[in-house]
Structure 1
Amino acid sequence: MRHRFITFYQRTASDLKVITLDLSPRNVSELEQHYPLLLFKGTNPVTVIGHYIHVAKLEESLRQSPRSRRGRSSNSLPRQGEEICPICMEPMAPKDTKKLQCKHSFCKDCVEQAFSYKPVCPVCGELYGVLKGTQPEGGQMNCTIDPTSLPGYERYKTIVINYYIPDGIQKKEHPSPGQPYKGVSRTAYLPASPEGRAILELLKQAFNQRLIFTIGRSSTSGKSNVVTWNDIHHKTSMHGGPSHYGYPDPAYLSRVREELQVKGIK
């Protein structure tokens, strides 16, 4: 059960999944009551749209025998006034319910298990505590100043960031624990303007919280078990504009600040 939970929860709250099912109108009506956070559209087949964890829960239920599913529906449908836990999709008993400051409620066990993986609300993404990533340990982040300027920032010198993550063995938080992974060296650039220097300090904080890199599949080489960027975009070229991961790009600093804020780096 824990393995299935983590598989579901590792998908982000905004990750939608679409499936098609052959269902009778009566079955659709029952499922709409039991899965209020899913959207059921059309007939023969029915298109179901929703968050990955909710669609996966529906698919798991439908794999049961018809008799088992009918019994589950009659026993598990919420009574009037009962709330459904957005994680397990089951009615919540008042004594076992936990409401977060963002006003979203969950089964205590479900939200505690969710927070053990990532301390954010599974519905709205509000952060509770300090977010730690899966960036391999033992890496280095070094910064120097280049006297030349970046396009669009001709008044300023350039901050050169050198990242180094060595090869190693994956740990339990990685995709293939016990298997080797390939490290990486990356260079990125920021203008040495006041805003650029502020972003540099935020990137240092993100690096210390292991949020800059992760282990996964390379989008360029297609290789698995390699160190990759982790959703905080960097400019890896001084020139060429956005299409070449370079400058000029007037909106870049504000974009990367927003990406850092999502991870609690402010």
Structure 2
Amino acid sequence: MLLRLVSYPLVSISLQIFSNVKATIDLSAFKEREKVISLLYEKPLRTRKLNGMCYKTQGSFEELEELFHEISSFKKSDVHNVRHQKHESSRSPVQVMSVEVVDSVMSYIEQKCSKELDKIGGNEVSMHVHRTHDKVLVDFRLVNPQHPEFLCHHARERFITFYQRIATNLQTRTFDVDPIVLQHRKQIEVRFPELLISDIPRKHSLRSSITVMGSYTDIMWFEEFLENGMATSQRVVRDQGRSPQSRHSDLSGPSAKQPERKEEGESCPICLDVMKKTEMKTLARCQHSFCEDCLKKAFSSKPICPVCGVVYGELEGTQPQNGTMEVSTSKAPLPGYPTYGSIIIRYQIPSGIQGEEHPNPGHSYEGISRVAFLPDSPEGRKVAKLLKRAFQQRLIFTIGRSSTTGRNNVVTWNDVHHKTSRTGGPTNYGYPDPDYLSRVKEELKAKGIY
């Protein structure tokens, strides 16, 4: 947090908790002091005058961050420039700063996204992961020390953007399964290549447990696979890679009673059986086909194509139902949108008890409070309306494992990126980021909101 506020050297900050941040503001550093004082008392902050020309104010981190952006235009230019030059000169270390990451997320990236990692560094930059007992750091080094250092900085920025996209999409679920499923884990991993699957040892139990990490959609289809195939899971995993005809030959035995199953045909992606034309259902928009009964079961969970994720109908998520979303505006512009004000979205999801649609029904979950920013431009206002629809359809948040803290049973983002900082670019979940609005519209479109 202190790094994000270093560009405000005229304000001293002590961060205690997110909802209780204190700042001391020295009016001698500002040329329009009356306007600064007015802003101090107009905001929903606790402000009092100290000795001399200093004021002490207190509020949430987001409230103070917004205040600092608004009063920054009132600074004395000569003081600002001197401080800015000092800041710039101290920001050019010989070695690029490491990036601290969550171990579980980095493990997923290393195992499932190795090709993407190679592309980030290219032939000029190598990335090294260092694990200690309390943190995981990613370092960036030039392969050829004679090459310009900015290559490392660019690789670091690309990695942070990539890591952020992966981390915000990841969820973790634990499933109780028949032990036969674990015996064919390799075949299951081939069927679900985007999921990271781990065993959980359970002594003296007829059931086994596995933990899967991946995107919401992939985990949902894995759950569908378990629910629809548990009774025949041994057959399903055994028959991976074999032709539909040989599968049914084994199942039916020498005296097969279903000759129509021996005909050449397309297999259902859910149950893997050869589909009869009279029982086959083809989805209109994506043209993927399934057994009609399998598709009904899948759509009863989520109305999206089990293969490609195209939404059919209105998708409803698992976001806790007692949350609030408040939208307001500010005249302070965002970097990259100098002619527009900003839209401020405040989400509040209180703690509660998980329902049947959540990972651990009956257990408590920890709520969150989040603030996000959009430019108050025509496109930004459109995105705000789309986010409102997504919130009403319970798609903005879910309950699971936090990708930043590693804690379970907490409210987390649900595959829709938000800018939770005004500044800092993609590195700090902020602006400028010229492609952000287009990306978030695509993410919402994938959930049927456009």
TM-score, structure 2 as length reference: 0.45
What is the correspondence of 1:228-239 to structure 2 with a 5 Å cutoff? 228-239=412-423
Distance 1:246 1:194, change over 3 A: same
Secondary structure, aligned partner of 1:177: coil
Match for residue 351 of structure 2 among 167, 171, 196: 167
Is 1:74 matched with 2:252? no
Deviation at 1:144, TM superposition (A): 1.2
Conserved? CA contact 1:53–1:87, under 8 Å = no
Match for residue 114 of structure 1 among 284, 288, 298: 298
Q: Which residue of 1 aligns with 2:277?
A: 94
Q: Which residue of 1 aligns with 2:268?
A: 85
Structure with the larger helix share:
2
What is the correspondence of 1:130-169 to structure 2 with a 5 Å cutoff? 130-169=314-353
- Most deviating of 249-258 and 83-92: 83-92
Paired positions, count: 221
Match for residue 445 of structure 2 among 254, 261, 264: 261
CA distance in 2, matches of 1:230, 1:182: 15
Secondary structure, aligned partner of 2:262: coil
Conserved? CA contact 1:217–1:228, under 8 Å = yes
Q: Which residue of 2 aligns with 1:199?
A: 383
Select the structure with the greater relative contact order (CA < 8 A; seq sep ≥ 6).
Answer: 1
Distance 1:123 1:246, change over 3 A: same
- Most deviating of 103-112 and 243-252: 103-112
Conserved? CA contact 1:17–1:55, under 8 Å = no
Q: Which residue of 1 aligns with 2:235?
A: 61
Distance 1:194 1:215, change over 3 A: same
Deviation at 1:176, TM superposition (A): 0.4
CA distance in 2, matches of 1:53, 1:131: 17
Conserved? CA contact 1:151–1:247, under 8 Å = yes
Deviation at 1:218, TM superposition (A): 0.4
Deviation at 1:230, TM superposition (A): 0.2
Distance 1:18 1:245, change over 3 A: closer
Conserved? CA contact 1:238–1:246, under 8 Å = yes
Distance 1:210 1:14, change over 3 A: farther
Q: Which AA in structure 2 matches 1:104? A: H
Conserved? CA contact 1:236–1:246, under 8 Å = yes
Q: Which residue of 2 aligns with 1:189?
A: 373
CA distance in 2, matches of 1:129, 1:14: 25
Question: Deviations along 1:80-99, whole A, 9 cap, x unmatched?
Answer: 32221110111223332222
CA distance in 2, matches of 1:138, 1:53: 26
Q: Which residue of 2 aligns with 1:240?
A: 424
Greater Rg by CA: 2
Conserved? CA contact 1:218–1:228, under 8 Å = yes
Is 1:177 matched with 2:361? yes
Distance 1:14 1:248, change over 3 A: farther
Secondary structure, aligned partner of 1:16: coil
CA distance in 1, matches of 2:383, 2:365: 29
CA distance in 2, matches of 1:261, 1:53: 23
- Most deviating of 247-256 and 95-104: 95-104
Q: Which AA in structure 1 matches 2:355? A: K
CA distance in 2, matches of 1:217, 1:243: 22
CA distance in 2, matches of 1:55, 1:135: 23
Deviation at 1:17, TM superposition (A): 5.3
Conserved? CA contact 2:225–2:270, under 8 Å = no
Question: Deviations along 1:71-116, whole A, 9 cap, x unmatched?
Answer: 9562459623222111011122333222221322211111001001
Deviation at 1:125, TM superposition (A): 2.1
CA distance in 1, matches of 2:224, 2:357: 23
Conserved? CA contact 1:76–1:91, under 8 Å = no
Q: Which AA in structure 2 matches 1:98? A: K
CA distance in 2, matches of 1:261, 1:165: 24
Distance 1:205 1:106, change over 3 A: same
Question: Deviations along 1:207-261, whole A, 9 cap, x unmatched?
Answer: 0000000000001111100000000000000010101000000000000011010
CA distance in 1, matches of 2:196, 2:348: 39
Q: Which residue of 1 aligns with 2:408?
A: 224
Secondary structure, aligned partner of 1:141: strand
Deviation at 1:171, TM superposition (A): 0.6
Conserved? CA contact 2:345–2:372, under 8 Å = yes
Q: Which residue of 2 aligns with 1:16?
A: 194
Q: Which residue of 2 aligns with 1:31?
A: none
Q: Identity, % of aligned pairs? A: 53
TM-score, structure 1 as length reference: 0.74
Question: Deviations along 1:28-53, whole A, 9 cap, x unmatched?
Answer: xxxxxxxxxxxxxxxxxxxxxxx968
Name the Cα RMSD after superposition. 3.1
Conserved? CA contact 1:211–1:230, under 8 Å = yes
Conserved? CA contact 1:133–1:209, under 8 Å = yes
- Segments of 5+ residues of structure 2 without an aligned counterpart are 1-175, 178-190, 198-220, 239-245, 253-260
